């Protein structure tokens, strides 16, 4: 089989060279290799997609459809390979989890919003893309991530990748000179703007910090260095929403960790990381720029803040007009001009953009029922994650659940000010986090397990 694969690859390259389409031949050859790899080693293929999605760039394919390349083609190939592995003799049965009911209600309300949308074709395309992310990230993790050791083997890749992106963004900012423009484009061309870049890094930073606190020796050093790199990228991106999310989430996370472990030294390590970041920013002259930008978080004259009010007021008008089903999933940017009020005029008022808030996007696109269903899902996720952290007898599961809750917490707070759930940069870690929690929560005991956990963790 290996010999046949090599021969097929050679023939593809030769055919591409003869026809003058070497790049196309190389793409097909790579797709074939990935398809076979996904069939034979699903976990390896999953990690490869994780490593690839930050590099993804939106491309317009024939027919005018946008596609995130290489992420979405890789996800499609992986799903095809995994479906080919399924046994035909018995039906597919997903493990039960408390997240299924809110997910089903959210899906149903979204589908109804598409059916009565002003732009149903946009909703259909958006739901197809969302279904791909949910199947790849949520369903796959739900089925395959019950063992904390399996999850633990992926953590170094996840944290290492985020650290590399933190260094990439930081290096670009320092080389270009620390200005507002360079910070906003810190990770271009892959992250087109600073918000998605900072949201992605903020979801990974709690994982890096907690694993640094739990590790020893060389492993602790590596996780500490990764935490520094990720935090540096977030700081230099000038993303106020990410700063606020970390300011609110990290203290609560560290307090829960201390309640669990009762150790002070690792907390001092986190403080040292913050001090090092502070010194680096001062040394490069970025401290004053960050301080001035932080002061604009609540500034009424800031153009970005004013434009958010524009978008939010338009969303409120959409809810008043269509409270039950909204204007339709993925339709907000296309109907914004119809609902825009002219009380506040900024340079960005005429830009094709989203609602600048997941709350207002949900209300505007899916109506009040869609917003309530999404709130139910987030509450169910938080309860499940806390149950795992408080009741699991496996310390690795408790660590993972705390890290995931913290990462999701940063996105929920970030989502008050921006909308990123439809981007692969956020969609993959978001749905994967839900899937891992759902998997770890299977078979979780009640009172007896809770008692055993308290004994085990205190002894540890």
pLDDT of residue 5: 59
Q: Is residue 40 domain-shared with residue 130, that is, in the same domain?
A: no
Number of H helices, E strands in the chain: 20, 2
Q: Is residue 116 domain-shared with residue 80, that is, in the same domain?
A: no
pLDDT in tens, 219-267: 999 999 999 999 999 988 888 889 999 999 999 999 999 999 999 999 9
Given 68, 93, 118, the domain boundary residue is 93
pLDDT of residue 344: 58
Q: Is residue 76 domain-shared with residue 151, that is, in the same domain?
A: no
pLDDT of residue 12: 61
Q: Is residue 262 domain-shared with residue 369, that is, in the same domain?
A: yes
Q: Is residue 149 domain-shared with residue 87, that is, in the same domain?
A: no
Q: Are 312 and 357 in contact (CB under 8 A)?
A: yes
Quick one: average pLDDT of 8-12?
A: 62
* Stretch among 112-116, 177-181, 262-266 having the lowest mean pLDDT: 177-181
Q: Is residue 75 domain-shared with residue 211, that is, in the same domain?
A: no
Quick one: average pLDDT of 194-198?
A: 91
Q: Is residue 77 domain-shared with residue 170, that is, in the same domain?
A: no
Quote the number of domains for the chain. 2
Let me know if residue 334 belongs to a domain: no
Cβ partners under 8 Å of residue 166, min gap 6 = 201, 226, 229, 230, 231, 232, 233, 234
Question: 68: which strand partners?
Answer: 58
Q: Is residue 88 domain-shared with residue 113, that is, in the same domain?
A: no
Angle at 88 between CA 83 and CA 91, to 5 degrees: 90
Going by the DSSP 8-state scheme, the letter that residue 264 receives in this structure is S
Q: Is residue 68 domain-shared with residue 143, that is, in the same domain?
A: no
Q: Rounded distance, CA 88 to CA 18, Å? A: 41
Let me know if residue 430 belongs to a domain: yes
Location of structure tokens 């150790």? 263
Structural domain harbouring 29: 2-93
Q: Rounded distance, CA 457 to CA 453, Å? A: 6
* Stretch among 22-26, 184-188, 222-226, 364-368 having the lowest mean pLDDT: 22-26
Let me know if residue 103 belongs to a domain: no
Given 49, 64, 93, the domain boundary residue is 93
Q: Is residue 165 domain-shared with residue 237, that is, in the same domain?
A: yes
Q: Is residue 84 domain-shared with residue 116, that is, in the same domain?
A: no
- Taking alpha carbons only, the member of 433, 377, 432, 404 closest to residue 253 is 404
Q: Is residue 73 domain-shared with residue 220, that is, in the same domain?
A: no
Angle at 59 between CA 54 and CA 60, to 5 degrees: 155
pLDDT of residue 116: 93
Quick one: average pLDDT of 174-196?
A: 80
């Amino acid at each position: 089989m290996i010999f046949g694969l090599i021969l097929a690859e050679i023939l593809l390259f030769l055919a591409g060279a003869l026809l003058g389409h070497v790049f196309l031949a190389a793409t097909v050859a790579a797709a074939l290799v990935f398809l076979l790899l996904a069939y034979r080693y699903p976990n390896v293929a999953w990690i490869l997609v994780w490593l690839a999605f930050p590099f993804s760039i939106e491309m317009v394919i024939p027919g005018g459809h946008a596609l995130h390349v290489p992420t979405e083609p890789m996800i499609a190939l992986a799903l095809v390979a995994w479906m080919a592995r399924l046994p035909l003799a018995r039906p597919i049965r997903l493990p039960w989890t408390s997240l299924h009911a809110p997910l089903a209600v959210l899906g149903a309300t979204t589908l109804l919003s598409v059916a009565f949308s002003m732009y149903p074709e946009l909703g259909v395309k958006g739901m197809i893309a969302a279904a791909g992310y949910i199947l790849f990230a949520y369903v796959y993790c739900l089925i395959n991530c019950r063992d904390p050791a399996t999850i633990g083997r992926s953590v170094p890749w996840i944290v290492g990748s985020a650290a590399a992106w933190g260094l990439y963004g930081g290096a670009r900012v320092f080389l270009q000179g620390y200005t507002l423009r360079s910070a906003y484009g810190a990770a271009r061309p892959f992250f087109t703007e600073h918000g998605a870049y900072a949201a992605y890094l903020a979801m990974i930073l709690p994982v890096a910090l907690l694993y640094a606190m739990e590790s020893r020796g060389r492993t602790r050093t590596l996780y500490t260095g990764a935490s520094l790199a990720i935090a540096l990228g977030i700081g230099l991106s000038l993303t106020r929403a990410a700063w606020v999310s970390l300011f609110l989430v990290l203290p609560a996370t560290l307090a829960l960790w201390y309640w669990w472990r009762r150790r002070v030294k690792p907390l001092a390590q986190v403080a040292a990381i913050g001090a090092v970041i502070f010194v680096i920013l001062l040394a490069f002259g970025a401290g004053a720029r960050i301080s001035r930008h932080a002061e604009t978080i609540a500034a009424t004259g800031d153009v970005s803040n004013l434009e958010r009010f524009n978008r939010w007021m338009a969303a409120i008008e959409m809810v008043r007009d269509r409270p039950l089903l909204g204007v339709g999933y993925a339709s907000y940017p296309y109907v914004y001009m119809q609902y825009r009020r002219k009380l506040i005029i900024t340079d960005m008022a005429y830009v094709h953009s989203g609602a600048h808030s997941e709350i207002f996007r949900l209300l505007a696109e899916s109506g009040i029922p869609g917003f309530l269903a999404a709130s139910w899902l987030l509450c169910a996720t938080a309860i499940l994650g806390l149950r795992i952290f408080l009741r699991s007898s496996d310390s690795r599961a408790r660590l993972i659940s705390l890290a995931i809750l913290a990462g999701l917490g940063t996105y929920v707070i970030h989502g008050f000010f921006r909308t990123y759930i439809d981007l692969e940069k956020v969609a993959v870690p978001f749905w994967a986090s839900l899937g891992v929690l759902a998997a770890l929560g299977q078979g979780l005991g009640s009172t007896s397990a809770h008692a055993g956990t308290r004994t085990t963790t205190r002894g540890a």
